[in-house]
Amino acid sequence: MPEKFLKPHCPFPSILNDKPGNPLGFVTNDGMWAAIPCGKGFMVIHNGDHVKLFNNYKKAVDFILNQTKVRKRKPRSSNGRKTTQT
């Protein structure tokens, strides 16, 4: 048996990092929005449909939080003026 210990080769050393740069994903409390890893980015999903692909986790979460704030606000009417028909 050889005396010299050979360190195993790992092609992706970030896999062994105990504090990874990208978490496993993000889901809102109501489960309507999610950011899941997709390739090298994060896919934002709403009600089972993919919405947008982001390059990093922070941008995906910021987008989800922004969208949930927009949907909580009261929707504005599309036509501010009342029209009368003649």
The H or E element that residue 66 is part of is helix 57-72
Domain boundaries, the chain: 21-72
Q: Give tens-digit pLDDT for 45-79.
A: 999 899 999 998 889 999 999 999 887 776 666 66
**SS3 at position 73:** coil
On whether the CB atoms of residues 61 and 54 are closer than 8 A, the answer is: no
Of 59 and 8, which is predicted with more confidence?
59
Give residue 85's pLDDT. 67
pTM for the whole thing? 0.59
**What's the rounded Cα separation, in Å, for the pair 44 and 60?**
6
Give residue 65's pLDDT. 92
Total H helices, total E strands in the chain: 1, 4
